[in-house]
Amino acid sequence: MLRWTIIFIIIAIIAGVLGFGGIAGASAGIAKIFFFIFIVLFILSLLKGVIKK
Q: What is the pLDDT along the chain (53 residues), one digit of tens a residue?
A: 677 777 877 877 777 676 665 656 666 677 778 778 888 888 888 888 888 76
Provide CB contacts within 8 A for 24, sequence distance 6+: 18
- Which pLDDT score is estimated for 19? 63
* CA–CA gap between residue 53 and residue 17 (Å, rounded): 37
Quick one: pLDDT at residue 25? 60
Task: Please spell the DSSP secondary structure of 1-43, one letter per residue.
Answer: -HHHHHHHHHHHHHHHHHHHTTS-THHHHHHHHHHHHHHHHHH
Domain extents in the chain: 2-52
Single pTM value for the model: 0.50
Q: How many CA atoms lie within 13 A of 25 on its CB side?
A: 0
Residue-level pLDDT at 21: 58
